[in-house]
């Protein structure tokens, strides 16, 4: 019987070997994905228990982890929640993260690859490892001014230093209190989540970067840039009829302002935000040139910024009627406020578009710098000469055009208003985008709705004062 | 291998070294692993030594020494590695149950209960050693054992006392105490198979007709085999327990193969088992659900929570584990019983669990070695069969927990919480030790193993 016993022994050792091989397979192939699974409570609990790094504006923490006792030894705290929630986002147990908390999660948690050496040292010295701090480029005054100016309106403000790409203010209103989501009282967090999620004014929407809207007349900057790049000059005359019949269509385009003549210069058209003139300009240029210009500014491309951002759209196929509508920022064009401010910033920076960024450096708790950001050119959507001409035109808009509410005495301000039609039953969106020369800042103000009469909604009336408040805060 | 080959008939006497001192040393070392797990759990969780550390140390090491003394005087020639292996596994299991006890709230005392069961198992082990003395006495009543085993196996299907838990009806409950009779049936059937197959081995090997290249035994010899097959089927279908059915069928197959030395048996059994398993997969909910939970657990998170959280536990533990008390084994349902391997994997790591598998391997190897050296055929069969039950259980349950195979509700020998399994497995160790003692005691080397069967061969060999 020994023969069969030996064979059975071999069979048994194969069974046990299969167990060992399978366990090797588990640790080699499955561990990572299992630990990345959001349903893995072990990972989530450990992360929620960690001493996360702070998010800093200047020397002030706008998000930090505060020690406590109980099941989770730290709680994420936002000292000025309503002011900074658009930037920090939230950090919660059951509802993941957003904003900088999400995009810099690894650095804040201390699990990025740059921090691996530090982790090993912490392990060997028995120290509780902690995450890195991230230093933002934000300006507290500008942010506060933007939040105050937006008030209880739904909207967004993005301000950036156009010479470097540093974001100085980033606001989406209404804001919310991320402390309510970060609380260790999970049922309270759930209540807050449901409230915020179901709130009529959708506070959790990232209106500044994550949403796209019809840009309305602010898109005329792109059309104007395309025209200048095509060899036209500000004095080039275009037809500006009261009503422009859209080719191959029964509909026509009208003006909401007085264009100041039937045939006007491009400069005049921009100053009065003349729809029919820009419609004709679009028809002259054609869809492809418009698209090329828009894409040079960043439309149809994935945005490169430190927080999650949506791609701005420029339609791929256009017939003539659509081209005319597109030239004035209607039809299927959709842009995030971030995209619009980038257009103004590139014009203000003599045609050079800088890559926008929010985080200037990541530093360990011992202040060693893990990474720091240097300003980067993202492209040149228009020549320096065209940019200079366009700057001049934008200054005219503010000095004696639709953008006059943005005027600030003693400062050179260029800008463009926008009032974007949406669905007939919804109020139009009010835009204002502009720049100041000293401080060198480009700012977009966007108002999705406000409690004012429909006829009173215009970029000049609603959005330009917000622009002015932010620029004044930066003076 | 040289000492296993029995020399030609001569006056030579093989004398194995007793190695009892080595056993004691290894035993204390092995016990220290479990004890360390217990102490480290408290250090990690509360930052201080356990309050009753002295008492626990005294009881735990005292049990080891007591058992060692019994072995030293009653079974001095028994294999010195078996006990340390079992104590290592048992200790780690106790420590892990103690660790899971600590998960609030409230703190439970399952580890104390388990300790009592361990002590009871040790008492039974000693009783087997003292009372049995010679395993060949077990050979006497094969049919009684067979019927007794079958009755125990099917007892949970009986009305009033049968009890269903976790989908499988494998428990009986009498006067508030629950028991898994299959664990005892395992021993009785192993003994019955060993006796029956040893007695009938030639008939089973040679008699009968050839069908499809397989020599089938005569119908009347085949009878018990068909009964066994039907019983396994009943366990699978009516008790909803693929694991137990696999265990018994495997045990049965391996023993008949060893007895007859005919590979046709495992082949035939394999076909039958696959057929039955496929049928169960098709016609019962239970098996189908387990298979889908095995192949793609994440498709239904809530239903497969158990296996998924076990996987999360392994991943969280990583290669080296979180450390005793530092993981979250409580997140896995049934972490103390079916899923104890997952809890161990989380806290002492994939490497720790691999080491445990190696210890099981060592234990099983010593069991098979006992079978190889046993002087009598009955002892060989019994030792091999019992060792194989360990192997199959370890493979099925750890393979299930690690998603190598569908999860079956078998116990992890000596580790999972539960009295019936603990007691039964200690009895098995007792029997193995007795056989091992018999196998290694000095005896005149003979070419033919001595026959001790009290029964006359009732069946004549018809043809050769």
Distance CA B206, CA A443 (A): 96
* List A85, A217, A312, A336, catalytic entry: A217
Q: Rounded to a whole number, what is the distance in Å from the CA of A17 to chain B's nearest CA? A: 9
- A111-130: pLDDT as tens digits: 777 777 777 777 677 666 67
Q: Does B301 touch chain A (CB under 8 A)?
A: yes
Q: Which of B350, B395, B403 lies at the smallest CB-CB distance from A15?
A: B395
Interchain proximity A16–B395, CB inside 8 Å? yes
Domain positions in chain B are 138-283
Across the range A215-244, mean pLDDT stands at 87
Q: What is the mean pLDDT of chain A?
A: 86
The reported pLDDT for the residue numbered B340 is: 93
C-alpha closest to that of B412 among B349, B340, B345: B340
Cβ contact B141:B85 at 8 Å: no
**CB B314 to CB A34 under 8 A?**
yes
Q: What ipTM does the predicted assembly reach?
A: 0.90
pLDDT band at A30 (very low <50, low <70, confident <90, very high): confident
pLDDT digits (tens, 9 = 90+) for A400-440: 878 778 778 788 888 888 887 776 667 788 888 999 988 89
A187 is catalytic: no
Examine residue A439 and state whether it is found in any structural domain, yes or no: yes
Return the higher-pLDDT residue of B218 and A184: A184
CA–CA distance, A126 with A124 (Å, rounded to integer): 5
Can you tell me the distance from the alpha carbon of B459 to that of B267, in angstroms, rounded to the nearest whole number? 26
A38: chain B residues, CB-CB within 8 Å: none
Contacts of A438 (CB under 8 A, 6+ apart): A411, A412
Q: Strands of B177-179's sheet, edge to edge?
A: B162-165, B168-174, B177-179
Which residue stretches of chain B have pLDDT < 50?
A: 1-5, 7, 447-464
Interval B15-54: pLDDT, tens: 888 889 999 999 999 999 999 999 999 999 999 999 999 9
Residue A194, pLDDT score:
92
Residue B175 main-chain phi, psi, to 5 deg: 50, 40
- pLDDT for the residue numbered B463: 46
Residue of A nearest to B4 (CA): A2
Neighbours of A198 (CB within 10 A): 8
Residue A450 within a domain: yes
Q: What is the pLDDT at residue A127?
A: 65
Q: What is the tally of structural domains in chain A?
A: 1
Size of interface A-B (CB pairs under 8 A): 116
Given this model, what pLDDT does residue A424 score? 67
Probe site for chain A from B45, B265, B316, B410 (most A CB atoms < 10 A): B316
Q: What is the pLDDT of residue B452?
A: 44
Side-chain-side CA neighbours of residue A87 (13 Å): 34
CATH number for position A293: 3.40.710.10
User: In 3D, which of B76, B68, B6 has the Cα closest to residue B31?
Assistant: B68
Is some CB atom of chain A closer than 8 A to the CB atom of B371?
yes
A315: Cβ–Cβ under 8 A, 6 or more apart, which residues? A287, A291, A322, A326, A331, A332, A333
E strand or H helix that includes residue A431: strand A429-436
The residue that leads in pLDDT, A49 or A145, is A145
- pLDDT at residue B2, as a whole number: 39
**A40 in a structural domain:** no
Judge whether A407 lies within some domain. yes
Residues A225 and A282: their CA atoms lie apart, in Å, by 11
> What is residue B348's predicted lDDT score, i.e. its pLDDT?
93
Is the confidence at residue A441, as pLDDT, over 70? yes
Give the mean model confidence (pLDDT) for residues A448-456.
66
Host domain of residue A385: 216-358+377-473
| Mutation target vs B (from A3, A4, A18; most B CBs, 10 A cutoff) | A4
Provide, as residue numbers in chain A, all residues whose Cβ is less than 8 Å from the Cβ of B353: 23
Q: Band the pLDDT of A160: cuts 50, 70, 90.
A: very high
Under 8 Å between Cβ of B317 and B347: yes
The whole-number pLDDT of residue A451 equals: 61
């Amino acid at each position: 019987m020994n023969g069969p016993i030996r064979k059975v022994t071999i069979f048994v050792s194969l069974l046990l070997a299969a167990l060992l091989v399978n366990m090797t397979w588990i640790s080699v192939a499955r561990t990572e994905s299992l630990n990345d699974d959001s349903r893995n409570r072990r990972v989530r609990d450990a992360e929620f228990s960690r001493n996360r790094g702070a998010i800093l504006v200047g020397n002030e923490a706008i998000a930090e982890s505060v020690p406590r006792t109980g099941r989770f030894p730290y709680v994420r705290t936002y000292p000025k929640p309503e002011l900074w929630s658009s930037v920090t986002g939230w950090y919660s147990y059951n509802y993941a993260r957003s904003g900088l908390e999400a995009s810099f999660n690894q650095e804040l948690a201390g699990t990025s690859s740059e921090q691996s050496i530090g982790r090993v040292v912490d392990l060997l010295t028995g120290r509780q490892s902690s995450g890195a701090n991230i230093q933002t480029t934000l300006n507290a005054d500008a942010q506060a001014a933007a939040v105050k100016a937006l008030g209880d309106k739904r909207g967004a403000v993005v301000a950036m230093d156009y010479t470097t790409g540093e974001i100085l203010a980033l606001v989406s209103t209404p804001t919310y209190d991320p402390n309510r989501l970060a609380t260790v009282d999970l049922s309270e967090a759930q209540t807050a989540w449901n409230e915020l999620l179901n709130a009529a004014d959708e506070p959790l929407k990232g209106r500044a970067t994550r949403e796209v809207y019809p840009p309305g007349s602010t898109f005329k900057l792109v059309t104007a840039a395309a025209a200048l790049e095509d060899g036209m000059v500000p004095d080039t005359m275009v037809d500006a009829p009261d009503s422009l019949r859209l080719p191959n269509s029964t509909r026509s385009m009208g003006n909401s302002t007085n264009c100041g003549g039937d045939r006007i210069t491009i400069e005049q058209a921009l100053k009065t935000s003349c729809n029919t003139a820009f419609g004709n300009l679009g028809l002259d240029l054609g869809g492809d040139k418009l698209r090329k210009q828009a894409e040079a500014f960043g439309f149809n491309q994935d945005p490169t910024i430190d927080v999650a951002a949506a791609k701005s759209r420029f339609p791929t196929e256009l017939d003539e009627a659509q081209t005319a509508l597109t030239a004035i920022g209607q039809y299927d064009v959709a842009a995030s406020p971030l995209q619009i401010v980038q257009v103004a910033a590139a014009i203000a920076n003599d045609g050079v578009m800088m890559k926008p960024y929010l985080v200037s450096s990541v530093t360990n708790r011992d202040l060693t710098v893990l990474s720091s950001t240097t300003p980067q050119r993202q492209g040149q959507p228009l020549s320096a000469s065209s940019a200079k001409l366009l700057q001049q035109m934008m200054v005219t808009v503010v000095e004696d055009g639709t953008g006059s509410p943005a005027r600030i005495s003693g400062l050179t301000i260029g800008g463009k208003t926008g009032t974007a039609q949406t669905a007939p039953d919804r109020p139009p969106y009010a835009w204002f985008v502009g720049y100041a020369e000293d401080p060198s800042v480009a700012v977009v103000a966007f108002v999705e709705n406000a409690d004012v009469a429909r006829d009173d909604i215009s970029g000049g009336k609603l959005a330009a004062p917000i622009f002015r408040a932010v620029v004044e805060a930066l003076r | 291998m040289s000492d296993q080959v029995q020399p030609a008939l001569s006056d030579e006497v093989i004398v194995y070294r007793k190695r009892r001192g080595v056993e004691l040393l290894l035993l204390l070392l092995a016990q220290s692993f479990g004890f360390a797990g217990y102490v480290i759990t408290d250090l990690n969780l509360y930052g201080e030594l356990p309050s009753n550390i002295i008492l626990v140390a005294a009881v735990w090491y005292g049990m080891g020494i007591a058992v060692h003394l019994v072995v030293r005087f009653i079974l001095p020639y028994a294999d010195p590695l078996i006990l340390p292996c079992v104590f290592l596994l048992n200790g780690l299991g106790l420590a892990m149950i103690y660790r899971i006890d600590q998960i609030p709230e409230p703190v439970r005392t399952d580890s104390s209960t388990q300790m009592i069961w361990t002590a009871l198992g040790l008492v039974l082990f000693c009783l087997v050693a003292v009372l049995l003395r010679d395993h060949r006495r077990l050979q006497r009543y094969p049919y009684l054992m067979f019927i007794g085993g079958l009755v125990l196996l099917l007892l949970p299907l009986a009305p009033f006392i049968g009890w269903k838990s976790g989908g499988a009806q494998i428990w009986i409950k009498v006067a508030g105490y629950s028991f898994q009779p299959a664990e005892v049936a395992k021993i009785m059937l192993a003994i019955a198979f060993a006796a029956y197959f040893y007695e009938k081995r030639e008939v089973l090997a040679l008699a009968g007709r050839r069908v499809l290249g397989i020599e089938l035994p005569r119908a009347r010899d085949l009878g018990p085999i068909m009964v066994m097959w039907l019983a396994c089927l009943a366990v699978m279908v009516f008790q909803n327990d693929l694991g137990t059915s696999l265990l018994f069928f495997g045990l049965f197959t391996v023993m008949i193969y060893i007895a007859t030395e005919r590979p046709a048996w495992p082949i035939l059994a394999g076909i039958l088992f696959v057929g039955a398993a496929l049928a169960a997969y098709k016609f019962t909910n239970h098996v189908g659900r387990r298979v889908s939970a095995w192949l793609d657990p994440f498709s239904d998170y809530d239903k497969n929570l158990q296996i998924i959280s076990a996987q999360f536990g392994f991943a969280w533990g990583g290669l080296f584990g979180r450390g005793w008390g530092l993981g979250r084994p409580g997140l896995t349902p049934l972490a103390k019983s079916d899923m104890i391997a997952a809890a161990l994997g989380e806290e002492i790591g994939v490497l720790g669990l691999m080491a445990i598998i190696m210890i099981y391997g060592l234990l099983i190897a010593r069991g098979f070695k006992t079978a190889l050296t046993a002087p009598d055929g009955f002892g060989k069969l019994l030792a091999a069969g019992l060792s194989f039950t360990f192997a199959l259980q370890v493979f099925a349950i750890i393979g299930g927990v690690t998603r190598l195979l569908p999860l079956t509700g078998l116990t992890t020998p000596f580790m999972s919480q539960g009295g019936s399994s603990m007691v039964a497995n200690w009895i098995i160790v007792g029997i193995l030790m007795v056989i091992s003692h018999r196998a290694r005691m000095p005896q005149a080397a003979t070419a033919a193993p001595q026959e001790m069967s009290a029964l006359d061969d009732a069946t004549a060999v018809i043809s050769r």
